[in-house]
Structure 1
Amino acid sequence: MKLGAGYSWCAAFVSWCYQNIGVEAPKSAWVPSYALKSKRIYQRGKFQHRRPQMGDVFILWSRKLKRPAHIGFVDQWGDKFIITVEGNTNEDGSREGDGVYRKRRLKKQIWAVSDFISSSKPQ
């Protein structure tokens, strides 16, 4: 996937990473394509299947856009904070950033977490 200048690329970063390790996930630069109910393990403060772990994707909701609008990887899941790795962000946590950063986010900021890795493993 190649994007021209001016595109948000947080979801493209997730897609590129998953493609390079053979995980079946959307090949998309569109964050809502990762918000599949069938893949969600956590939503708005409630675990649905299991506790999020490294490699799952977190999704942030934008009230302004009224849709999922930023995505990245869970690195560590804590009681109050999560450590993330995310593209198209910056030191301030913007979804219009300048690179890939390891961030510390309040868990209450997280709208949902999806698991694409477990379903990609051979049975």
Structure 2
Amino acid sequence: MGSDIRERVIDSALQEIGVQEATGNNDGTRVEAYLRYVGLGKGYAWCAAFVSWCYGRAGRPLPRNAWSPALFPMVRRYTAAQIAQGSIRQADLFAIYSSSLRRVDHVGLVRQQKGNWIVTVEGNSSDKVLSKRRPLATIYAFSNWLD
């Protein structure tokens, strides 16, 4: 898969930066569109729905799941060695792990890796779509749905 699809996924995500929930309850016109894409109505956590919607908008049918842990099957995950070698690429997914829930609790898109940091685009972060800078040490897993 060429970089073209990766750029389309990220372009879709970048166009959504600034979208925010209407009342802070996983709602609002755009948020509900992301949730509808994965078969849910308003009121559900939507980070995985957002990622799935971005892939769909770029013409990729998968991933398409509202459950963030489902976006990190072992067959799609990068190994520690691959991560250390700098294999993470634009449009890969990153996971944040919740020790209290004992599972992946948040997912977003990698925009780019810069040294020991990644720049992201993610939904349902502070109730909106935004770009963040996250230290690699805080990332639980990365997955590749394009190769």
Is TM > 0.5 for Structure 1 vs Structure 2?
A: yes
The TM-score normalised by the length of structure 2 is 0.68
Rg larger in structure = 2
Higher strand residue share: 1
2:56 alignment partner, SS class: helix
Contact residue 97 and residue 103 of structure 2 kept, 8 A: yes
Question: Pick from 103, 109, 120: which aligns with 2:138?
Answer: 109
Contact residue 58 and residue 71 of structure 1 kept, 8 A: yes
Residue 14 of structure 1 is matched in structure 2 by 51
Q: Which runs of 5+ in 1 are unaligned?
A: 91-97, 119-123
| Matched pairs, number | 109
Post-superposition offset of 1:25: 1.9
In 2, distance between residues paired with 1:117 and 1:23? 9
In 2, distance between residues paired with 1:88 and 1:5? 13
Contact residue 76 and residue 144 of structure 2 kept, 8 A: yes
Tell me if 1:47 matches 2:82: yes
Residue 76 of structure 1 is matched in structure 2 by 112
Matched AA of 1:111: Y
- Matched residues, percent identical? 39
- Cα-to-partner distance string for 1:85-113 (whole Å, 9 max, x where unaligned): 000002xxxxxxx2100000111010111
In 2, distance between residues paired with 1:25 and 1:40? 15
2:78 alignment partner, SS class: strand
Question: Pick from 62, 71, 87: which aligns with 2:123?
Answer: 87
1:41 alignment partner, SS class: coil
Contact residue 63 and residue 145 of structure 2 kept, 8 A: no
RMSD: 1.8
Contact residue 61 and residue 69 of structure 1 kept, 8 A: yes
Contact residue 42 and residue 51 of structure 1 kept, 8 A: no
Higher helix residue share: 2
Distance change >3 Å, CA 87–CA 105, structure 1 → 2: same
Tell me if 1:100 matches 2:135: no
